[in-house]
Structure 1
Amino acid sequence: MADATSVLHVSPVIPVVTIADPQHAVPVARALADGGVRIIELTLRTGSALESLKRIATEVPDILVGAGTILTPAQADAAAGAGAQFLVSPGVTPALLDHMLRLNIPVLPGVATVGEVMAVLERGLTAMKFFPAGPAGGPDYLAAIGAPIPQVRFCPTGGVSLDSAPSYLKLANVSCVGGSWLTPRAAVESNDWEQITRLAHDAAGLSRG
């Protein structure tokens, strides 16, 4: 079973990164790793995302690279073919989950309701992405889910910041958070890799409950 529990323990924060220019992919990944964050969720929101994914997988072997925003089986296949080491979806359908699981790499399906959590749990997965974390109810919502369903571990993503991350990370059913603040667009476009390394260092230093 391609459960992503181990993925959730790599870092307190999984950077959620969108890269427009593949030339930036390797420097971004190296800057994150230099700051102590050795994992990246690269979103498939640009036409060149698969090329960026392939470059990171090939040239930065000390970072765990996953593909995010998986919406279709075809995207899952393409991401796996480009070297993705785990897959993340913002939500999930039975057909998409079936297909991702057949690829036999860790899968982090997105959920937002108790019913969705239970449906994914029925498939044997105990690691899930909680999205969109802020609008869907935040830390209080996750704490409430933890009472009847304590075996599930979450990575809340969506509206999470360096300031709000601790309120999630102190929860027993939260293993890490996902955030886009580690790779600001301005820093990427200006090749300010030192800023990204500093932000990664701050994120890596967050404590988990």
Structure 2
Amino acid sequence: MSVVDNISCCGLRFPPKPRIITCSSRVSCLHSSTTTLTNIRNSGVIACLRAKSADVALEAARAAITGGISVLEIVVSTSGVFEVLHQLVQDFPTTTLGVGTVLNPGDAQKAKNAGAKFIMSPAIVKDILDQDSEDLLYIPGVMTPTEILSSYNAGAKIVKVYPVSAVGGVQYIATLKKPFPHIPLVASQGITIDLVGEYIAHGASSVVLSDAIFDKEAMAQRNFSAVHQLARLAASKGYEAVER
């Protein structure tokens, strides 16, 4: 059975396909970290892509973006990650693109140079957090209340709760929002498309979807049509949840 055999599109309102535009001036293309944060919260979904080769990464990313994904991160372990990112920035200038699993300032700078609007880590990398940048949003990984508050007080505008499925899932996010209603939380790890609405309804500003969009079987078979359909469903769920 195909990975998309059970997807039903009935009743879903799909977001418009991304438009490719050109900027009339350098100023009009500037993209602040505040804008990036807004885009992440408005989309409800961050697609997380990891691939063994640059060509697979490019095709999978294109399938997801044309499927409606407006925020996408490429894991730094992906072959040719910065070249892939640079190409996607050229092809999809209105998409919010970033790099994930960034563990040191060197890779953070490479991501920025390639056009990333945000970077993510599975933990708090103090050397990155201390380098405040107006045009690059840093999303550190946290798990405990202490880590959440410490990151926020150190300047983080948003944090990633990871690994969320291992520490309580939706209920853990709901619990964290009680003392920290002012801190935007991204839920990450082990989340399926059907749970997007639940996470956002219980306080997550956005959720990270990895295998849920970039299905392992589909990626291995280079079945980018399946990726496109999964991305379309995920993007729709995200937009609907944010609107509610």
Matched, 1:108 2:139: yes
Residue equivalent to 2:94: 62
Structure 2 CA distance, aligned partners of 1:59 and 1:192?
21
Range 144-153 or range 157-166, more displaced: 157-166
Structure 2 CA distance, aligned partners of 1:195 and 1:102?
37
Residue equivalent to 2:56: 24
Q: Pick from 65, 74, 83: which aligns with 1:33? A: 65
Structure 1 CA distance, aligned partners of 2:84 and 2:150?
33
Residue equivalent to 2:128: 96
2:165 counterpart letter in structure 1: G
Structure 2 CA distance, aligned partners of 1:36 and 1:166?
17
Query: 1:169 and 1:140, CA in 2 relative to 1: closer, same or farther beyond 3 A?
Result: same
Structure 2 CA distance, aligned partners of 1:179 and 1:105?
21
Structure 2 CA distance, aligned partners of 1:97 and 1:179?
24
Q: Pick from 173, 188, 197: which aligns with 1:166? A: 197
Residue equivalent to 1:118: 149
Matched, 1:188 2:212: no
Q: Pick from 170, 180, 187: which aligns with 1:156? A: 187
Q: Deviations over 1:170-195 (max 9, x none)?
A: 11x31211011111233234332221
Residue equivalent to 2:111: 79
Report the structure number with the largest CA radius of gyration: 2
- Equivalenced residue count is 207
Structure 2: 5+ residue stretches without partners = 1-31
1:179 counterpart letter in structure 2: L
2:94 counterpart letter in structure 1: D
Q: Segments of 4+ in structure 1 off by > 6 A?
A: none
TM-score by length of 1: 0.89
Identical residues among aligned pairs (%): 26
Query: 1:117 and 1:164, CA in 2 relative to 1: closer, same or farther beyond 3 A?
Result: same
Residue equivalent to 2:23: none
Matched, 1:137 2:196: no
1:132 counterpart letter in structure 2: P
**Structure 1 position 24, deviation (Å):** 2.4
Structure 1: 5+ residue stretches without partners = none
RMSD over aligned Cα atoms: 2.0
Residue equivalent to 2:9: none
Structure 2 CA distance, aligned partners of 1:45 and 1:10?
27
Q: Deviations over 1:41-63 (max 9, x none)?
A: 10001342222222212223232
1:107 counterpart letter in structure 2: Y
Structure 2 CA distance, aligned partners of 1:186 and 1:21?
15
